[in-house]
Amino acid sequence: MGCGRVGSTLSRNLEARGHSTAVIDTNPDAFRRLGPGFAGVTVTGMGFDRDVLVKAGIEHADAFAAVSSGDNSNIISARVAREQFRIENVVARIYDPGRAEVYERLGVPTVATVPWAADQVLRRLVPAGSEPTWRDQSGDVRLDNVYAPFSWVGHRMADLEEAAAVRVAYLTRLGKGLIATPDTVIQEGDYLNLFMLESTAEASHAALDAGPEAD
């Protein structure tokens, strides 16, 4: 629901991955953003109108995304999709971060556009490494990307995780992404993607920099 820049891009990307999509928008001219090659369904109307949703095929849908420019329209549409049509995979774009938090607690996954954009800009303004790549909605968990400190080269991934209180989500080695196991041996040049708690991030980075304790 919503055929602005986000909705049209999302629809094209889904179609490129082999999915069939239907797009709803109140303005029929908005469908021009989909391009001449779009093979999906377009429906003019309100995304929270039951008849419009049925016309778009929601009764056979696997997922629903509400990405119009209005918070109210997005959340109402998302709730109708989930509560009346039993669509399990639903997400709504919300500009107001306060509302986004409330709806997350109500079980409606949201993308809080303003906080995310502000965080992305902030990470490009401040010194490298001082801001994480990603924070979860609660602000308790963060994702940091770091090159493996030289002192950890030759040690097991499990030892690094235990010493720094982190979890290695995956690593990039020689340009190839890898899922690490506890016995993966760290090599020079490994680029680590680390989950850690915000409350212990400073201590985690200190442990990474300090290296393993001497046997």
Asked whether residue 210 carries a pLDDT value surpassing 60, the answer given is yes
Please check the confidence at residue 129 and state whether its pLDDT lies above 80. no
Given CA atoms 113, 145, 160, 157 in this order, what sign does their dihedral have? positive
Percentage of the chain lying above the pLDDT 90 cut: 62
User: What residue type is assigned to position 201 of the chain?
Assistant: A
Give the pLDDT score at 27: 96
**Count of CB atoms situated within 10 Å of the CB of 71:** 19
Q: What is the mean pLDDT of residues 135-159?
A: 90
For residues 168 and 155, what is the distance between their CA atoms, to the nearest angstrom? 14
Instruction: For residue 139, give every residue at least 6 positions away whose Cβ sits within 8 Å of its Cβ, in sequence order, or none.
Output: 198
The model's pLDDT over 60-91, given as tens digits with 9 standing for 90+, comes to: 999 999 999 999 999 999 999 999 999 988 98
Q: How many CB atoms lie within 10 A of CB 81?
A: 27
Model confidence at 203: pLDDT above 60? yes
The three-state secondary structure class of 200 is: helix
Question: Which domains, and CATH codes, for the chain?
Answer: 5-118 (3.40.50.720), 130-210 (3.30.70.1450)
Helix or strand holding residue 173 (H, E): strand 167-173
Residue 97 or 130, more confident: 97
pLDDT score, position 94? 87
Residues β-bridged to residue 94: 112
